[in-house]
Amino acid sequence: MSPALSPLLNRYSVPSRQLGEPGPGSDQLRELLEAAIRVPDHGKLVPFRMILLEGNDKLQFGERLAALSLAKNPDLPDSKREKERTRYTYAPLVVIVVARVDVTSKVPEIEQKLSAGCVAYNLLLGAKALGYGAQWLTGWAAYDHDVAAMLHLSGNEHVIGFVHIGTPQIDVPDRDRPALDDLVSTWQA
């Protein structure tokens, strides 16, 4: 294995429930966020932004999501209610990555959203490089209009994902990866 590719070849997600304190300090966080925004950006639109969830505000966000989930589905089983309520209690930091789509731009919407997706991926890579674990999650909250309103998103903004970052509390085994030969072909004229 090439040492230069080691960070990519050794990247894996740590389940958010297995992330705990400590999280990045303020200097590390700033450095991580600076690295995260160094992404391909056709047209220099900066079609992304980030919202940080930390401390008590992170817990309050989870409580509000749980209440919203219950309001939308009153028959929600107790186990799912508890999952919703505690979803944001584990990792000390959750970064909400938001795509800001400029519909007047000649740059296709998909390219703008992919640029925001690269921000989320850079957060995963950067967290690992700094010695933390991370997991990129979406779930119903990423696509819900009421959650978007709670986050004060504009009509052209969409949640790309919730990136949970913290210190792994367990050793996480790598998962099986697909066979490269099943995924690569060579086009021939």
Task: Specify the amino acid at residue 54.
Answer: E
Catalogue the E-assigned strands of the chain. Answer: 19-20, 48-54, 93-100, 133-137, 157-168
Domains and CATH numbers, the chain: 3-182 (3.40.109.10)
Contact 141, 162 (CB under 8 A): yes
| pLDDT score, position 40 | 98
Interior angle at CA 177, CA 176 and CA 179, nearest 5: 125
3-state secondary structure of 23: coil
Contact 50, 129 (CB under 8 A): no
- The DSSP bridge pattern shows strands 93-100 and 19-20 to be unpaired
Residues paired with 51 in a beta bridge: 96
Contact 91, 19 (CB under 8 A): yes
3-state secondary structure of 53: strand
User: How does pLDDT run along the chain (189 residues), one tens digit per residue?
Assistant: 789 998 899 999 999 999 999 999 999 999 999 999 999 999 999 999 999 999 999 999 999 999 999 999 999 898 888 898 899 999 999 999 999 999 999 999 999 999 999 999 999 999 999 999 999 999 999 999 999 999 999 999 999 999 999 999 999 988 999 999 999 999 999
**CA 15, CA 165: separation in Å to the nearest integer?**
10
* pTM (2 d.p.): 0.95
